[in-house]
Structure formats: C-alpha cells, structure tokens
Amino acid sequence: MFDVQKVREDFPILQQEIYGKPFVYFDNGATTQKPRVVLDTITRLYEIENSNIHRGVHHLSTVTTENYEEARKIIARYFHVENEKEIVYTHGTTDSINLVAFSFGEKFIHEGDEIILTEMEHHANIVPWQMLCERKKAHIKVWKMDDTGCLKLDDLVNLITEKTKLIGVTQVSNVLGTVNPVKEITQIAHKHEVPILIDGAQGAQHVPTDLSGIDCDFYAFSGHKIYGPTGIGVLYAKTKWLEEMPPYQGGGDMILSVTFDHTEYLEAPFKFEAGTTNYIGAIGLGAAIQYLRNIGLKEVFEYEDQLLAYATEKVKEIPGLRIYGEAPRKVSILSFLIDGINAYDTGLILDKLGVAVRTGHHCAQPVADHFGIAGTVRASFSFYNTFEEVDHFVAGLHRVVEMFQ
C-alpha cells in the first residue's frame, strides 16, 4: 500500500515552510526533489570514496569505477535495456539530443534531407535540429497536434517522404502532459526505415518505459527530473548507431591510443564519454532510480494518476479556468489559465501562499503559439505530493480570482 506520509519523510526539502506557510512544491516538471538516499550517496562518495574513474590502479578508483558501471546497469534495467553499453552518460536531455544532432547528424543528414518534429516539442528537441539543418541545408517538418494536445498517427504517415532521415518525438509534453503513443509511432517510423529519437525528459519518471519493447533508436532523459542529481543525464542509443556515429567530443577517457598522426577511439559508450564525466552524478542517479523501484513503480505511477484526476476535477470549480492539454492519456501535469488573469500574476500570488508553480511558455513556445497565448500556469505533481496540497492550491486559486476581480 502506498503511504505518501511515509514517503514524504524521505525528502528533507519538503519539511520546510515558505513565507511561514507549508511548502507546496508543484514544479516537478522543472525539477524533482531528492530523497535522503540520493543525498547520502553523494555525501558518502565525496567523504570516503571519491576517486576518478577508469584511470587508477588504486583501491578507491576501482570502487568508484565499479559503482559508476553498476549505476549504468541499474539505469539499463529500469528501461528494460539488455545491453548496458547502450546507455551513454551525458549532462542531461539537452546534451543527449545535441550529441545525436551532432554525431548522427554529421554522418547521416545531408542537403535537402528532412527531420520531422512534433509541434509539442520542448526547445531542447527543436533548436539542436535547427542548428544541424542550418549546417547541412536540411529541413524541419512539423507534425501538428490538435486542440486537445494529441497527435494523429495518420498525419505522420503523410509527412514521411524518402527524404525523411529522423523523427523526433517527445514521450510526454512538458506543457500539456500528453503521453504520446511512442511504440506505435516507432513502428510507423521503422516501417518507412526512418530512425526515431524520443525525448523522455517528462516521461521516464511518470510512465513505465520499456525501451526494448518500444524499439526506438534513441532515447534521452535527465537525472534531475527523476529524483537524481543535476548535471547528469542519459542517452540510450541502439548499438548499431553507437558504432556508426562519430564521437561528439574528443578528449581523455574516450581513446584507445593517441599519436599526433592518428587517434583510435574506445568502443561505445566510452567513445561518447570524453573527459572526466559526472561520475558522482551518475552514481547518484543510480541511487535515485533504485529508490523509485523500491517504493514500487506501479504504486507511484497510479498514485500520480489519482492526483492528476483529483486536481483536474477540483480546478474546474474555479470560474473562468481553462485547462490546456486534454489528451485521454496524461501524466501529472496540469496547465491552465484563468480568464482575464495573467499567468505571471497567478504564479506570484500562489508563491506568496507557499505554492510553487511554473508560469510562462515552459520552453515550448510553439505550444503556446498553437493556442494563441503567451503561456500558462503549470502545476506538475509528483508522488510525494498530497491531496491536501491540491486542496490548498485550489484554495489559492480562489484567492487569486478574488484579488484580480
């Protein structure tokens, strides 16, 4: 049985007050809080185990290297990836996508080629491709969504041509909460022999993600959004791509041999992990994922679904409130605007009541443009949030309405 009060004790940051009011953290889409076990892992590493990986013959270096590689296995297992060598450590989702845009892009994208991206992508899955297209004189085609925030599979089929070289799709929209049918999308892509990249920044922590079942070519996510440290992320890529793609950055720890005439690279994933990586972050991420598994993924995801359903019903009490994102399948992200009240004003008052939400375009301007708005207020929930907190938030919205009337 999922016990939210017990779980909350694992998160020290939730125990505080803001402006003398209980802290309600509903900005989990931006970053998640860290359980004690992650904090303890990081402290332990720096206090007694710190040593650079893959280099020394000495004891601590071996221990840290083993922990670093063990974390890779934990991550691989979480995503049902059999071969952990397909897990490349990066700095985060943005870094992972930039890696693919560079390494895959340099080799496989040529003048006149097309990349299909959905209208609901985060800027992190738009801008690297725009930069690539500029270098290569290639083009981006946009897969539009409907007004509920859903993509139609038929539309994708119509967009694919023989020039299509990659499809980029977000697993979950960071503004609308839509869960996209990434498995079906991958099947369509592969039927046309087009590789697919999935942005998992908002999906990995909220929906079961079986990468071998989905069969995608690339998958990117960030450690800090799944209760791990900042500055660490992952790129999953199929072995065939990792073998064919040139390295992204050169440096130490990614080479087999170096002379001034020629350098031989290590095999993947090390080929893509140049320099000293964020190994403390990687081990911390392993601890975070292990923590999540220990609570029970099924329990966590179900509870988050209940929170979203409850909050969605409750906010409908607010006169003039419109929800953005009405897909049948959503994660715990609730974007909305109250008629005649600016998102910034709403966020400012909620903040004073101790409730942290995000306001603005959430780094996905095309989504705001689709609806002809400047941005939204976004409340994003996690399993450590409670129904009482949702009540407090809704009471805050009533207050906002009173103040601006």
Partner 1 sequence: MTIQEKQDEIIEEFSIYEDWMDKYSYLIELGKELKPLNPSQHSKENLIEGCVSRVWLDAEMKEGKIFFSADSDAIITKGIIALLIKVVSGHTPAEIKDADLYFIDKIGLRENLSPTRANGLLAMIKRIRLYALAYDAKSKQRG
Considering only residues 149, 203, 354, 375, which one is a binding residue for partner 1 as defined by CB under 8 A?
375
Binding status of residue 360 toward partner 1 by CB under 8 A? yes
Tell me which residues in 312-351 interact with partner 1 (CB under 8 A): 341-345, 347-349
User: Is 395 near partner 1 (CB under 8 A)?
Assistant: no
403 binds partner 1 (CB under 8 A): yes
CA distance 359 to 120: 17
CB of 352 to partner 1, least distance (A): 6
Q: Is 363 labeled as catalytic in the residue annotation? A: yes
Q: Which long-range contacts (CB under 8 A, 24 or more apart) does 27-31 make?
A: 27/356, 27/357, 27/358, 27/378, 27/380, 28/225, 28/332, 28/380, 28/381, 28/382, 28/385, 29/174, 29/202, 29/225, 29/333, 29/358, 29/362, 29/378, 29/380, 30/358, 30/380, 31/224, 31/225, 31/230
- Between the alpha carbon of residue 188 and those of residues 15, 114, 237, 317, the distances in Å are 47, 16, 19, 41
Task: Tell me the closest approach of the beta carbon of residue 375 to partner 1, in angstroms.
Answer: 6
State how far the alpha carbon of 275 is from the alpha carbons of 220, 242, 272, in Å. Answer: 20, 18, 10
CB of 399 to partner 1, least distance (A): 8
- How is the beta sheet containing 139-143 ordered, strand by strand? 87-90, 233-237, 218-222, 196-199, 164-170, 114-118, 139-143
CA distance 240 to 217: 9
**For partner 1, which is the closer residue by CB, 387 or 404?**
404
In this structure, are residues 38 and 46 in contact, taking their beta carbons and an 8 Å threshold?
no
The least CB distance from residue 405 to partner 1, in Å, is 10
Between 46 and 404, name the residue whose CB sits nearer to partner 1.
Answer: 404
Q: Which is nearer to partner 1, 312 or 346 (CB)?
A: 346
Binding flags for partner 1, 9-38, as an x/- string (CB under 8 A): ----------x-------------------
**Which of 133, 150, 216, 363 is labelled catalytic?**
363
d(CA 16, CA 399): 23
Judged by CB under 8 A, the number of residues near partner 1 is: 17
DSSP for 91-115, please give it. SSHHHHHHHHHHHHHHHH--TT-EE
256 or 395: CB nearest partner 1? 395
Which residue's CB is nearer to partner 1, number 306 or number 365? 365
Q: What sign does the CA torsion over 362, 364, 370, 372 have?
A: positive
User: What's the min distance (Å) between Cβ of 175 and partner 1?
Assistant: 14
404 binds partner 1 (CB under 8 A): yes
DSSP code of residue 166: E
Query: Per-residue contact track with partner 1, 246 to 285, x per CB under 8 A?
Result: ----------------------------------------
393-399-404 Cα angle (round to 5): 130
Give me the least distance between CB of 259 and partner 1, in Å please.
Answer: 48
| 309 makes contact with partner 1 (CB under 8 A) | no
Q: Which is nearer to partner 1, 141 or 361 (CB)?
A: 361
Q: Judged by CB under 8 A, which of 6, 44, 352, 398 binds partner 1?
A: 352
Q: Give the shortest CB-343-to-partner 1 separation in angstroms.
A: 7
Binding residues for partner 1, rule: CB under 8 A, are: 19, 341-345, 347-349, 352, 359-361, 374-375, 403-404
Catalytic residues: 363
